[in-house]
A and B are shown apart, each in its own frame.
Chain A
Amino acid sequence: MIEAFTRLFDAFATLSTFEMVFHAAWATLLGIAVGSLPGLTATMGVALLTTLTYSLPREAAILVLICMYVGAIYGGSRSAILLNIPGTPASAATTLDGFPLAKQGRAAYAMSVATTGSTLGTLVGIVMLVALAPALSDLALKFGSFEYFWLAVFGVLISGQLTSGTTPVKGYIAGILGLMVAMIGSEGLHAHVRFSFGFDQLNGGIGLIPAMVGAFGLAEVLMVMWQPKAQVVRSEREKGAGLPRFMEAWKYRVTVLRSGIIGTIVGLIPGVGEDIGAWASYAAAKRKSKERDQFGKGSIEGLTAAETGNSAVVPGALIPALTLAVPGSAPAAVLIAALFIHGIRPGPMIMIEQPDFIYLVAVMLFFATVAIFIFGISLAPVFEFVLRVPRERLMPVVFTLCVIGPYALTQRIFDIWVMVFFGFLGFALRRLGYPMPPLVLGIILGDLLDKNLRRGLTLSDGDLSPFFTRPFSMVFVALIVFTIMAGIPVVRRQVGRLSGAIANMGRGT
């Protein structure tokens, strides 16, 4: 405990320089602007900014990316409140109560509630990051090839299940497609080149950054230009409406704490992300609220729950990303790629090789939280102005960065083609109802899955039993079976009926 505080203090001292504060300020500001604009997501922002951080020192680069991530997730609330369009998918639940408040002429008030909720949500997540990450890292050291194989399978399955709405099979398919993409190029055990079809450029595999920039950048550009234009609701400048809403936060302190914990736990689940964190927190708040009839009509509690929940996912998603190299969300997947680029190897060894790094990340998140609070309260009218930039002028600028960003990493025209391919593929898959996070997680986890399956089989001399009999493996197998069963509608209905019958029997006795 004391050691953790000492490391946190050291991390704070390391990052408390003018240069770092400056980086935190501009990156968070940019993140809020990116998140505010419908069509620019946190994943896209982090992916594009990764390409701009190659020449920065390691700590500064990671700080910039984390501030972009936190800023963009928070910034999504602006357009959710003013346009009824979530700036990022994370703010979808925010529209339910944020937009009705804006229509009542209380947009500035709603934005200040969202700012306070996001700030508190991230703080809850940071506390849980510091508490859980070292423990999870210790636990992960006990994992062998068999457990890592199941972890990768579970990650892709649960991500597919929770992000695909009513059709889990589409989530699974997206995950399998991502894993298939990861099969391209030189494999990790024998350096045999697979599925390169004679293209030398494919020998090294598909780059994650070009694929992500395409799937989240070009696909978003196409989506934004395809959809009808949105109309901005003008916020009234009522006196004091933009001030921090600590009284409301105190009134709904249980909701804040619950949403923060739910958000962080959702963040821990591989490849699920902020939108699910917000929805889960919103649903829990509605179920427990005394004012549930107000939900959807401009409920302050609902808005607080949604914003606290989505912001708490950010630190939560970084916990598995840092300790297992398994991202908790799509932007965290890009962050993993960025960590490798900057010479940091996320995974169970991180607490041994770089024990201070997790605490540095916690302090970086804290800087980003302070920045969103200050900017959110003081610059609300500026972000309203940003929302009025015509999409016809913004999108070509975004696409220019989508082209030059992936090129800058390897200086290969081929990576621009990869970006374009994944852009069109991402758009088509989205239109057909396939979620993107499992696809991304598949690309990230393909190597882990492949190496650990074959390494495990080699260790056991082809015997499958260790995959099912080792204690941690058994836990993962049980979780996977449960996940798949929960995705089958007939099973879900039967379980619902059974639990209803048991509840009725309980009431009868």
Chain B
Amino acid sequence: MRADLYTAPALFVLGAAMSYGGYTMDRLEIRQIHPASIPGLLPMLLGAALMLASVVLFLQARNALASGPQPEADTGSTRDLVLTALSCGVYALLLVGNIPFPAATAIFVASFILIFEADPSRGKAHLARIAAIAIVLGVAVAAATSILFRYAFLVRLP
């Protein structure tokens, strides 16, 4: 996979950072712990292992590319992916915690359905039907999850 040529160096840097972090970590001499039980020991080893694995990955990717064309990866809709990631990100990172959970959920569910199902080219009747479904489902999901978690599981909703 061509992407491995780029991810391998990034993983190598991550491994080096992990090893460095483990090496410079407090060795707790003041608490007179056994030197073999320092907290940075395993992070150092894991960093080294990741560096080694990333070198192997890079070499394998380079050899595979040199040996001929690679099979194409599965493709999907980038537009749908970006819209999904944006909707989910806005809901989880911005709406939840800043406005009441039921309102955030109703807005998210309704907008998600509208974004992916509404097709303006199919006329106003179609748009009205999708909007009605989106609103009803949004309110229903928001009410059901809020009631379930608030009253059945005694969760203080965000």
User: Which of A429-448 touch B at CB < 8 Å?
Assistant: 431-433
Interface residues of A in 344-380 (CB under 8 A from B): none
Q: Is the CB of B43 within 8 A of A194?
A: yes
**Residue among A179, A401, A411, A455 making CB contact with B46, cutoff 8 Å:** A179
A225 contacts which chain B residues (CB < 8 A)?
A: 77, 80-81, 83-84, 116
A419 at the interface (CB under 8 A from B): yes
> Which residues of chain A are near B60, meaning CB under 8 Å?
167, 169
Residues of B with C-beta under 8 A to A183 = 18, 42-43, 46
Please report the C-alpha to C-alpha distance between residue A416 and residue B109 in the assembled complex, in whole angstroms.
17
Task: Tell whether, in the assembled complex, residue B37 and residue A420 are in contact, meaning their CB atoms are under 8 Å apart.
Answer: no
Pick the residue among A176, A395, A455, A457 that contacts B84 (CB under 8 A): A395
- With A395-B112, A432-B3, A432-B4: A192-B88 Cβ-Cβ less than 8 Å: no
How far apart are the CA atoms of A419 and B56 in the complex, in Å? 30
Which residues of chain A from 381 to 408 have any CB-CB distance to chain B below 8 Å in the complex?
A: 390, 392-393, 395-397, 399-401, 403-404, 407-408
With a cutoff of 8 Å between Cβ atoms, the chain A residues found around residue B145 in the complex are 400-401, 404
Q: How far is the CA of A462 from the CA of B46 in the complex (A)?
A: 19
B33 within 8 A of A: yes
Contact of A403 among B57, B92, B154 (CB under 8 A): B92
Report chain B residues within 8 Å CB of A190.
28, 31, 33, 37, 39
B135 to chain A minimum Cβ distance, whole angstroms, is 13
A455 with B37: in contact, given A176-B53, A180-B46, A393-B137 (CB under 8 Å)?
yes
Task: Please indicate the chain A residues that have their CB under 8 angstroms from the CB of B4 in the complex.
Answer: 432
B37 cross-chain contacts in A, Cβ below 8 A: 189-190, 454-455, 457-458
Which of B41, B50, B101 is within 8 Å of A173, CB to CB? B50
- Return the CB mask of B31-51 against A: 1 if under 8 Å, else 0: 101111111111100100110
State the majority secondary structure of interface residues on A.
Answer: helix
In the complex, chain B residues 82-120 whose Cβ is within 8 Å of any chain A Cβ: 83-85, 87-89, 91-93, 96-97, 101, 105, 108-109, 112-113, 116-117
Is the beta-carbon distance between B18 and A54 smaller than 8 angstroms?
no
B36 lies within 8 A of A226 (CB): no
- CB proximity to B under 8 Å, residues A188-218: 189-190, 192, 194-195, 218
B46: A residues at CB distance < 8 A: 176, 179-180, 183
B15 to chain A, nearest CB (A): 8
Residues of B within 8 A of A509 (CB): none
CB proximity to B under 8 Å, residues A215-239: 218, 221-222, 225-228
Chain A residue at smallest Cβ distance from B64? A167
Complex interface residues of chain A between 156 and 172 (CB less than 8 A to chain B): 167, 169-170, 172
Nearest-Cβ distance from residue B148 to partner chain A, whole angstroms: 8
B8 to chain A, nearest CB (A): 9
A455 to B38 CA separation, bound complex (whole angstroms): 10
Q: Are A424 and B36 in contact (CB under 8 A)?
A: no
Provide the residues of chain B in CB contact with A455, threshold 8 Å: 37
Q: What residues of B have a CB within 8 angstroms of the CB of A167 in the complex?
A: 57, 60
A450 within 8 A of B: yes
Q: Quick check: is A243 within 8 A (CB to CB) of the other chain?
A: no
Instruction: Specify which chain B residues have a CB less than 8 angstroms from the CB of A407 in the assembled complex.
Output: 96, 155, 158
CB distance from A191 to the nearest CB of B (A): 9
Q: Which residues of B contact A413 (CB under 8 A)?
A: 96-97, 158
Q: A167-B60, A194-B43, A411-B156 are in contact. Are A221 and B109 (CB under 8 A)?
A: no
Nearest B residue to A53 via CB reads B153
Query: Does A504 reach chain B (CB closer than 8 Å)?
Result: no
Chain B residues in 8 Å Cβ range of A180: 14, 18, 43, 46, 50
Q: Which of A301-341 contact B (CB under 8 A)?
A: none
Shortest CB distance A84–B (Å): 14
**Cβ B39 vs Cβ A194 within 8 A:** yes
Expressed in whole angstroms, the Cα–Cα distance for A195 and B18 within the complex equals 9
A416 touching B56 in the complex, CB below 8 Å, given contacts A392-B113, A393-B137: no
Tell me whether A55 is interfacial, beta carbon within 8 Å: yes
Q: CB of B127 within 8 A of chain A?
A: no
| A436→B113 CA distance, assembly (Å) | 29
- Asked whether A420 and B42 contact (CB < 8 A) given A392-B112, A400-B108, A403-B96, the answer is no
- Cβ contact of A396, chosen from B21, B76, B93, B109, cutoff 8 A: B109
Q: Is A417 an interface position by the 8 A CB rule? A: yes
Q: Tell me, yes or no, whether A52 is within 8 Å of chain B by CB.
A: yes
Query: Within the assembled complex, what's the spacing in Å between the Cα atoms of A462 and B18?
Result: 22
What is the bound-complex CA distance between A408 and B109, given in angstroms? 20
28 chain-A/chain-B pairs, Cβ below 8 angstroms:
A167-B60, A169-B60, A170-B57, A172-B53, A180-B14, A180-B18, A187-B39, A190-B31, A192-B25, A192-B39, A194-B43, A218-B88, A228-B77, A392-B113, A392-B117, A396-B108, A397-B109, A397-B141, A399-B91, A400-B145, A408-B155, A411-B155, A416-B158, A431-B73, A432-B1, A432-B7, A455-B37, A462-B35
- Kindly list 5 other residue pairs between chains A and B, CB separation below 8 angstroms, not including A194-B39, A226-B84, A458-B34: A393-B113, A399-B112, A400-B145, A411-B156, A458-B36
State the B residues within 8 Å of A (CB).
1, 3-4, 7, 11, 14-15, 18, 21, 25-26, 28, 31, 33-43, 46, 49-50, 53-54, 56-57, 60, 73-74, 76-78, 80-81, 83-85, 87-89, 91-93, 96-97, 101, 105, 108-109, 112-113, 116-117, 133, 137, 141-142, 145, 148-149, 152-158
